[in-house]
Amino acid sequence: MNSTRPQMVIILRYDIYLFFGGLFIYGANVSLICEDGGMDNGCRSQLLDSPDVTLQRENIAKGAAPIPARESVVRYQMSMKEDDYTYTQSLRVFVGTWNVNGQPPTVSLSDWLACDVEPPDIYGIGFQELDLSKEAFLFNDTPREEEWMFAVCNALHTAVEYKRLATIRLVGMMLSVFVQKQHAPHVRGIAVDTVGTGIMGKMGNKGGVGIRFEIYNTTMCFVNSHLAAHVEEYERRNQDYRDICSRMSFTKFRPPKSIVNHDQVYWLGDLNYRIVDVDPKKVKELIDIENFDPVLEYDQLIRQHNLNEVFMGYKEGKINFRPTYKYDTGTDNWDSSEKNRAPAWCDRVLWKGDSIKQLKYRSHPIMRISDHKPVSAVFESKVRVIDTVKYRKIHEEVMKKLDKMENEFLPQVMVDTTDVIFETLRFLEPQTKELIIANTGQVPVQFEFIKKLDDTTYCKEWLHIEPYLGSVRPGEKCDIRLEVYVDKRSASKLNSGQDKLYDILVLHLEGGKDIFITVTGSYERSCFGSSLETLANITVPVREIPIGKLMDMELENRKDGLENTVYPVPKEVWYLVDYLYRYGLKEANLFEQSGLHSELIQIRNWLDNGSQDALSSSVHSVAEALLLLLESTAEPVIPYNFHSVCTDCATNYQQCRQIIQQLPDLTRNVFLYLCLFLQELLSHSNDNGLDIKTIATLFGAIFIRDPPRSRDSQNSRTQQTLDRKKANFVYHFLVNDQSDLLAIT
């Protein structure tokens, strides 16, 4: 039979795996058995020995350590309570080692591996000198691996079924671990490693191979080593042992695990320690009468072990069998070759860990194909098994405790009010209120007023919040300034009822709750922000019209531009222009110098309330009020839908005239009325020093206002070009006679 590859069953419980969405789940009870022993789902084992995770309440409270270390905390807490949810179960562990001297397996191995009545739960089987060929040494490649594996698999105890967990080989050293099928689902975290200590201290002719895994809740490690040869080289052997200990590393774990990081370690192999300082003849005599004790006194390993030079912390059972080396192959006779090697207990099994009891320690002289005899040891090892019911209960308790703490450490604040109410608000008159955010919790709070779904800003444009984000330490507070201010951008929407002085702010605490703050106020309508149509259609001041009616009128205007208005231009425009005409024609810097805020308020009141008294204000404030009135409307004088045609044909006077002819009567009147006034104003440039280009630019921007937000998206260069075109457009109407256009009306 050529296909001698053992038919290993790979337990990949794919059905269960899938059912629990296993590929994403680390905790599922699956064990992957692989030919080179390289993989599985092992990160879990970290849970029992995370050394440094402690609950640092203080740090959490200071905000230095975030609670999200939760998973490691759970692991740590659970590991502290391990005794409460685990019980012990005894497993029979069979450990075998054999230096096969490069021979193929021509005999059955069952006399070695299945010589006991009771089947072991775990097998750890190691070979040395599996293949002595150069190929094996240089390329680490040998057909012997399969042959011996096949022989092993066929010789395991037949009373039960076994699964192979892993096999690892370095040149001639091979180690395989098998467990009974019933235990396989409880095995996790399989990992392997090799350490060469041979030629140059690196090569694999000597050294060790290891397999580690967890079975139930106990970690196990098997190490098979072949230490340095030659009688006098015991210190080299000690050194090899130390090298294997320090260099063997299961790197799939973070941090990587060493041999020492396991609950139970089984160390087997051809350790090569000899019997010295005694005449070999004497040794053979004593052995023949099975009087081993006097001979053991000369055993190098026992001596070195007692001196703590090697295998510190390990135990070895009492040797009650003949030395396993060196025999004439095929016989039970001591080496009869020229070298006439002295007998030695080269092949040994040691262990480390609590709850391990050695039941048997023996050699198997009947196996005669090598110059060594195989050795085996049987242990009764106690492993910790999780009591699922208890585990869940304790796990739940830990979780609850953490929940409690987590909730306790959520950011908490008090705000002095969730309803911020402003008094009557008027155009251009800001009002502020304060909101106090007090941190009443145990952790620093990061707060932020956040956008509501689908909103682009966290508050309405008439509201300003300072600061809108920040942090507050426990026991401290932060004052938030809420300022409402209705200006030319927001006035028209509030006038028409399209917007209200009402906003709900979402104050979000990072990692915690949201608080809703309602901001309300009533807005006193003004001619500023009213449409030209409305103003041209009411004969009384704005304040004398009921709000409902005002809103209706704005809605009407929006639907269709009115054909006939009561006045040809809004009276407010006329009042302001008339004032300028009377008192301002010769004023230097008119429209260039800004007015006084208090006078603007005065003008606003005068226009909105109507007054018998004459307006007394500086012409500069009146000029600014006029600009503001034209800028606050929902639609500019030249409506938005004419915006691009105006700028497109700005160089062509005739086309510009045609556009003006197409305008609705009212806006055309306002436009021409203002242009005529500006012509008049410019005719006094000797007195007022005004420059036509400046005026054209200023009024270009007002007559042909850019649609909202379009300004943000343009770069300054295109904006400059656009502004120049608008100035061009207006310029035509400042230098040409417009009386024929007026005549149309």
Partner 1 sequence: MANRGGPGGRPNGTAQQQQGGGGGGRICQFKLVLLGESAVGKSSLVLRFVKGQFHEYQESTIGAAFLTQTLCLEDTTVKFEIWDTAGQERYHSLAPMYYRGAQAAIVVYDVTNQDTFGRAKTWVKELQRHASPNIVIALAGNKADLSNKRNVELDEAKAYAEENGLLFMETSAKTAVNVNEIFQEIGESIVGLFVLVVGIQICRSEQSRLNYVSKIVYSLWYRK
Interacting residues with partner 1 (CB under 8 A)? 15, 18-21, 23-28, 43-44, 47-48, 67-71, 74-75, 78, 217, 386, 388, 391-392, 395-396, 399-400, 402-404, 406-407, 410, 418, 450, 452-453, 504, 506-508, 510-516, 518
CB of 493 to partner 1, least distance (A): 18
With contact defined as beta carbons under 8 Å apart, do 238 and 245 qualify?
Answer: no
262/314 Cα distance (integer angstroms): 13
CB of 392 to partner 1, least distance (A): 6
364/346 Cα distance (integer angstroms): 14
Cis bond leading into 252, ω under 30°? no
**Single-letter amino acid, residue 662:** Q
The 10 Å Cβ neighbour count of residue 137 is: 18
Nearer to partner 1, 454 or 740 (CB): 454
CB of 442 to partner 1, least distance (A): 15
Helix (H, G, I), strand (E, B) or coil at 567: coil
Nearer to partner 1, 153 or 410 (CB): 410
CB of 69 to partner 1, least distance (A): 7
Range list of β-strands (E), 510-552: 514-520, 523-524
- Residue 112: phi and psi, rounded to 5, are -90, -50
Q: At what angle do helices 665-682 and 716-735 cross, to 10 degrees?
A: 80
Closest CA to 330 of 284, 363, 367, 364: 367
CB of 85 to partner 1, least distance (A): 8
- Helix or strand (DSSP H, E) at 394: helix 388-408
Q: Which residues pair with 265 in a beta bridge?
A: 221, 352
Q: Is 744 exposed, middle or buried (0-12, 13-18, 19+ CB in 10 A)?
A: exposed
- Helix or strand (DSSP H, E) at 629: helix 619-631
Closest CA to 457 of 413, 427, 712, 465: 465
Q: Provide CB contacts within 8 A for 469, sequence distance 6+.
A: 446, 447, 448, 449
With contact defined as beta carbons under 8 Å apart, do 166 and 190 qualify?
Answer: yes
223/349 Cα distance (integer angstroms): 10
Range list of β-strands (E), 186-289: 187-196, 207-215, 218-226, 264-270
Nearer to partner 1, 518 or 718 (CB): 518
361/561 Cα distance (integer angstroms): 108
CB of 121 to partner 1, least distance (A): 20
CB of 435 to partner 1, least distance (A): 13
CB of 447 to partner 1, least distance (A): 11
Nearer to partner 1, 357 or 452 (CB): 452
Question: 3-state SS of the chain: helix, strand, coil percent to 5?
Answer: 35, 20, 40
648/644 Cα distance (integer angstroms): 6
CB of 510 to partner 1, least distance (A): 5
CB of 440 to partner 1, least distance (A): 14
CB of 14 to partner 1, least distance (A): 10
Nearer to partner 1, 403 or 680 (CB): 403
567/665 Cα distance (integer angstroms): 11
Cis bond leading into 708, ω under 30°? no
Helix (H, G, I), strand (E, B) or coil at 4: coil
Q: At what angle do helices 619-631 and 571-583 cross, to 10 degrees?
A: 150
Q: Provide CB contacts within 8 A for 2, sequence distance 6+.
A: none
Q: Which residues pair with 219 in a beta bridge?
A: 214
CB of 514 to partner 1, least distance (A): 4
497/645 Cα distance (integer angstroms): 30
662/676 Cα distance (integer angstroms): 19
Longest dimension (CA), the chain: 144
CB of 72 to partner 1, least distance (A): 9
574/595 Cα distance (integer angstroms): 19
Nearer to partner 1, 417 or 658 (CB): 417
Nearer to partner 1, 404 or 473 (CB): 404
CA 582 to chain centre: 71
CB of 549 to partner 1, least distance (A): 27
CB of 671 to partner 1, least distance (A): 41
With contact defined as beta carbons under 8 Å apart, do 189 and 42 qualify?
Answer: yes
Nearer to partner 1, 406 or 723 (CB): 406
